C-alpha cells in the first residue's frame, strides 16, 4: 500500500516537473522551428482561401485524421502487450489497494467522466461568451465543440483497435477520462490565455496544472482498475496530441494565428479583463 502512495506522489511531482520542462524545451524549440514556420504559411493560405472559420475547420479535421492514423497502430501494439504488461499491473495493484485511498481515487476519477465535464464545458462557454462580448460566438462554438470532438475521435480509435477492457472495469483504449480532462480544462486555459494578458510563466503554469489533472486522472483510473495500464499511457499521449491541433484551430478562428503583427484578442471586456484589439 505504501508503494501506491509513493507512486501517487511521484505522478504529481512528475507532472509538476515535466510541464515546465516541455514548455521551455521541446515545445519552445518546436514553436521556432522551420516546421512551425511552414505550418503558419500553409494555414495563412487556408485562411486566404476559406476564411478563418473554414481554415479552422480544415485544421481540426486534418489533425484529427492524423491523430487517428497515429493511435490506431499504437493501439494494436498496446493490445499485444496485454499479457506482458496489463495483466501483471492489474494483479499487482489488486493486492495493494487500501479502502480509504481507494475511496479518494474513486471520487477523483469521476472528474474525467462525461457528465460533470459537460457542466464544466457549458459553464466555461457561457462565462467566456460574456467576456468576449460581440465575438461571443467564438467561445461558444470552440468550447462547445471540443467535447464531441474528443468523444468521436476517441470512438473511432477505440472501434478500430477493438481491444476490449479489463474485467474490473469498462474503460477502453485510449483512456477517455484523461483525454476529456485535457480537452475541457485545456480549452478553458487556452481561452483564459486569449482573454487576459499573461506572462509566459502564467501560460506555463496553466498548462502544467492541466497536465497535472490529467496525469493524476490516469493514476486514479489504474488504481480503481477502470483501465488497462496501456490504455492510460495512451490517454496521456492521445489527449495532448488531439488538443494541440484543436488549440491551433481555435487560435486561427480567434485571429491569433498566424501572428502577422499586433497581438489580437477579443473585443472590449470588463475592466478586470482588458484585451487588445482584434485582428483585421
| Predicted confidence (pLDDT) at residue 175 exceeds the cutoff of 70 | yes
Q: Tell me the three cell numbers of residue 256.
A: 491569433
Quick one: average pLDDT of 120-125? 96
| Predicted confidence (pLDDT) at residue 169 exceeds the cutoff of 70 | yes
The predicted pLDDT at position 260 comes to 55
The predicted pLDDT at position 266 comes to 44
Model confidence pLDDT, tens digit, residues 30-68? 888 898 899 999 999 999 999 999 999 999 999 999 999
Q: How confident is the model at residue 271 (pLDDT cuts 50, 70, 90)?
A: very low
Whole-model pTM? 0.88
Average pLDDT, the chain: 89
Amino acid at each position: 500500500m505504501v508503494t501506491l502512495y509513493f507512486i501517487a506522489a511521484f505522478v504529481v511531482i512528475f507532472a509538476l516537473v515535466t510541464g515546465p520542462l516541455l514548455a521551455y524545451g521541446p515545445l519552445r524549440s518546436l514553436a521556432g522551428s522551420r516546421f512551425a514556420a511552414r505550418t503558419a504559411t500553409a494555414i495563412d493560405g487556408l485562411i486566404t482561401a476559406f476564411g478563418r472559420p473554414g481554415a479552422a475547420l480544415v485544421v481540426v479535421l486534418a489533425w484529427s485524421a492524423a491523430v487517428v492514423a497515429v493511435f490506431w497502430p499504437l493501439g494494436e501494439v498496446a493490445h499485444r502487450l496485454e499479457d506482458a504488461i496489463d495483466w501483471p499491473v492489474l494483479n499487482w495493484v489488486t493486492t495493494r489497494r487500501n479502502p480509504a485511498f481507494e475511496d479518494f481515487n474513486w471520487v477523483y476519477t469521476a472528474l474525467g467522466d462525461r457528465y460533470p465535464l459537460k457542466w464544466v464545458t457549458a459553464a466555461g462557454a457561457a462565462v467566456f461568451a460574456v467576456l468576449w462580448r460581440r465575438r461571443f460566438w467564438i467561445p461558444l462554438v470552440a468550447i462547445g465543440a471540443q467535447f464531441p470532438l474528443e468523444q468521436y475521435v476517441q470512438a473511432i480509435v477505440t472501434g478500430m483497435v477493438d481491444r476490449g477492457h479489463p474485467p474490473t472495469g469498462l474503460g477502453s483504449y485510449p483512456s477517455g477520462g484523461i483525454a476529456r480532462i485535457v480537452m475541457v480544462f485545456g480549452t478553458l486555459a487556452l481561452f483564459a490565455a486569449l482573454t487576459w494578458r499573461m506572462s509566459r510563466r502564467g501560460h506555463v503554469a496553466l498548462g502544467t496544472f492541466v497536465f497535472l489533472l490529467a496525469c493524476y486522472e490516469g493514476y486514479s483510473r489504474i488504481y480503481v482498475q477502470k483501465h488497462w495500464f496501456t490504455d492510460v499511457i495512451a490517454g496521456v499521449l492521445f489527449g495532448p496530441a488531439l488538443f494541440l491541433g484543436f488549440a491551433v484551430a481555435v487560435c486561427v478562428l480567434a485571429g491569433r494565428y498566424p501572428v502577422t503583427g499586433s497581438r489580437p484578442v477579443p473585443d472590449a471586456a470588463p475592466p478586470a479583463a482588458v484585451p487588445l484589439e482584434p485582428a483585421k
